[in-house]
Amino acid sequence: MTTKGEAFAGLSVAMTTPFRDSEIDYEALRGQVEFQIEAGTHCLCPVGTTGESPTLDHDDHERVIAAVVEYAAGRIKVMPGTGSNNTAEALRLTTFAERNGADAALVVAPYYNKPTQQGMYEHYKALAEAVDIPICVYNIPGRTGKNIEPETIARLAELPGIALVKEATGSMDQASAIMALSNVTVLSGDDSLTLPLMSIGARGVISVVGNIVPRDMLALVQAFDAGDFAAALSWHRKLFPLCRDMLSLATNPIPVKTALRLLGRDTGEMRMPMTPLDEESEAKLRSTLGKYGLL
């Protein structure tokens, strides 16, 4: 069955934001874009959780969106994070993304202020009516403090502009309910759940581990789409320890930035209050990267 946001099926990568001496390293950012294009990634998602959007000021946030669109130059889709717990702010960021050539917008559920389900609906409705690019509802209650219920997502899916859901509740039942009630394209928000979610109808992933091994995550998705379930399962099992470390060793994006530093692809620098991985956890990550064949 074709879903509303089918153009964004496959592998999207939740990009990190590279820093050098506390400033955004745009040369490294350009390198990230080229790395993903060469890997065959379908879509880039800058300035989301993995991109440390909470510690970017408004100017930084907009500059990164504009830079990634410029570097992509139409060779790969760009779906930047434009969410906020303030509807007016989310509207400003989303309209900026549209004006600057983004292909879609990844909009996290309003966090901290915990709106009602009607509040969630009105928030996304306001955005969907203001822009012409597709909107991906990003549901991650572990960070926002409030779940967007499947019935609310089904209501939102009736709006033309709501095309996708980044499903990061960790609940297969939630994902099943969304897909039973609507025709939005569901993308996994957890790398380790990509194969299980695709088995019930999800169409891909917005990946953290894709910063490190995009070709392998893409191989998993493509194997499943080709009906080669044995190959997809093999990739799932290979990727699982790496996916696990990205979330279990510390808060995202601390582990992935540490991994990129160990691989010589980033300074590993983060902005406070994000702090470096502790020595014991870094040793575990180094071991996982070594067993994977990356170190």
Report the relative pairing of strands 135-139 and 204-207 from DSSP bridges. unpaired
125 is catalytic: no
| Residues across the chain | 295
CA dist 198 and 260 (Å) reads 27
- Here the contacts of 21-24 (C-beta below 8 Å, separation 24 or greater) are 21/269, 22/269, 22/271, 24/60, 24/63, 24/64
Catalytic residue from among 71, 121, 124, 138: 138
The residue behind tokens 């060779």 is: 75
26 is catalytic: no
CA dist 103 and 24 (Å) reads 23
Catalytic residue from among 166, 238, 257, 284: 166
The residues carrying an active-site annotation are: 138, 166
